[in-house]
Homo-oligomer: A and B are copies of this chain.
């Protein structure tokens, strides 16, 4: 983080920064009744991911969100439920420009004690949840120097101009143009002045803030290359893509809770080795449960949302239950569903397989409880045959199942006992 490099508050010349998020859209392009910023991804509304992305940037002081009157209640619920900070709500206008203008007015309003006028204001979209601190830093830095700045991307398609009768008039040289994306940033006085001077026509039909800064603020925006992840969630397929990206990001780390008994530890270690060999692009760490309580904060702050819990008491859930208690006390599952896989082993010489399965069925009740806290609990029973090759097959199958459960994050299969 930039903060850790320089110490934002004290860095000489670093401006005060606020953000405005127009979120008054109706989502008609999605073909769904819910406005897209409120569409759920893993049961959490899209806009909450965007707020989270802005909140974790320590040098953004205030975030002003414009929402329509009818969605004010929904928005307040989201802020409460996901514990968003530094958010102020203002009423959206009927167009995007009017919504942004309302946000700027709230920041400039001297009678509003909660907000104060920033030196630089970021304008972002509620439906671009993957904005990184890096690009925010770049547009703010450029805005401080040039008055205005915006993220751009290469064009994916050629842009053409149709004639009045629906025929091709000309096609633009793709290399000479760019798509204007968000975030953008402005010296507050530049963009606020532009909105105060612009026409009703601009407010009604315009969409491009950089254009207002150019036309009314006589400020040529600096253009900053953004990453592909800045794209705007527009169609239903974009919601699918966003969900897959979030699933991918939350499945990058798995913590393996090992128990303390020697024999079982042995097979736990074999499972860990197999996981590390077979699953790519995932970071595995492990530790005994007795240490987890102490070491929980570092693990959780590393954004690890997946736990494989190797149980010593094969017909019992002691370790898993302790882990669930620790997770419930933390806030880890507030923002993302946390996957917990309770692993048990069955050695062929001991109790009958069916009996062992039956004993483990109580996981269904635990899973129902855990689900209330956004924890997705699954059981995994791994056969532990004497024969080396068969054991390898069992472990490999167990790895396949763990990988599938972590990557899919499926709500419908919680409480199931899977068998490897």
Q: Which residues on A are within 8 Å of B, measured CB to CB?
A: 29, 146, 148, 150, 152-153, 155-163, 166-172, 174, 176-181, 207-208, 210-211, 214, 220-223, 228-229, 231-232, 234-235, 237-238, 240-245, 352-358, 361, 364, 400-401, 403-405, 408, 410-413, 416-419
Nearest B residue (CB) for A29? B228
Contact (Cβ within 8 A) A176 B150: no
Which of B29, B232, B234, B412 is A401 in contact with, Cβ under 8 Å? Answer: B412
State the Cβ distance, A167 to closest chain B Cβ, in Å: 4
Nearest B residue (CB) for A150? B168
State the Cβ distance, A224 to closest chain B Cβ, in Å: 8
Residues in B whose Cβ lies below 8 Å from that of A162: 152, 178, 223
Residues in B whose Cβ lies below 8 Å from that of A170: 214
Closest 7 CB pairs of A and B: A404-B412, A354-B354, A240-B244, A354-B358, A237-B241, A157-B179, A168-B221
Q: In this complex, which of A29, A167, A171, A352 has the most chain B Cβ atoms within 10 angstroms of its Cβ?
A: A171
Q: In this complex, which of A170, A353, A408, A416 has the most chain B Cβ atoms within 10 angstroms of its Cβ?
A: A416
Residues in B whose Cβ lies below 8 Å from that of A171: 180, 208, 210-211, 214
In Å, the complex CA distance between A185 and B380 comes to: 55
State the Cβ distance, A55 to closest chain B Cβ, in Å: 23
In Å, the complex CA distance between A156 and B155 comes to: 11
State the Cβ distance, A413 to closest chain B Cβ, in Å: 5
Given A221-B167, A404-B410, A412-B403, residue A177 in contact with residue B156 (CB < 8 A): no
Number of this chain's copies in the assembly equals: 2
Contact (Cβ within 8 A) A167 B223: yes
Contact (Cβ within 8 A) B160 A172: no
In Å, the complex CA distance between A234 and B223 comes to: 23
Contact (Cβ within 8 A) B241 A168: no
Nearest B residue (CB) for A221? B168
Given A168-B214, A358-B352, residue A161 in contact with residue B181 (CB < 8 A): no
Other A-B contacts than A163-B220, A167-B222, 19 sampled, CB-CB below 8 A, are: A148-B168, A152-B160, A157-B179, A158-B208, A159-B178, A159-B180, A160-B177, A161-B176, A166-B223, A168-B220, A171-B210, A228-B237, A243-B244, A352-B358, A353-B358, A361-B419, A400-B412, A403-B412, A404-B412
In Å, the complex CA distance between A22 and B296 comes to: 53
In Å, the complex CA distance between A249 and B207 comes to: 35
State the Cβ distance, A212 to closest chain B Cβ, in Å: 10
State the Cβ distance, A119 to closest chain B Cβ, in Å: 21
Residues in B whose Cβ lies below 8 Å from that of A166: 222-223
Residues in B whose Cβ lies below 8 Å from that of A146: 167
Nearest B residue (CB) for A355? B354
In Å, the complex CA distance between A404 and B412 comes to: 5
Contact (Cβ within 8 A) A181 B160: no
In Å, the complex CA distance between A163 and B418 comes to: 60
Residues in B whose Cβ lies below 8 Å from that of A29: 228
State the Cβ distance, A246 to closest chain B Cβ, in Å: 10
21 A-B contacts, Cβ less than 8 Å apart?
A150-B168, A157-B232, A159-B159, A159-B179, A160-B178, A160-B179, A161-B177, A162-B223, A168-B214, A168-B223, A171-B211, A171-B214, A237-B242, A237-B244, A352-B354, A352-B358, A353-B361, A364-B419, A403-B412, A404-B410, A404-B413
Contact (Cβ within 8 A) A207 B158: yes
In Å, the complex CA distance between A167 and B213 comes to: 12
Residues in B whose Cβ lies below 8 Å from that of A159: 155, 159, 172, 177-180
In Å, the complex CA distance between A336 and B261 comes to: 46
Contact (Cβ within 8 A) A167 B220: yes
In Å, the complex CA distance between A174 and B211 comes to: 12
Residues in B whose Cβ lies below 8 Å from that of A245: 237, 240
State the Cβ distance, A97 to closest chain B Cβ, in Å: 12
Residues in B whose Cβ lies below 8 Å from that of A358: 352-354, 357
Contact (Cβ within 8 A) A180 B157: yes
In Å, the complex CA distance between A352 and B234 comes to: 53
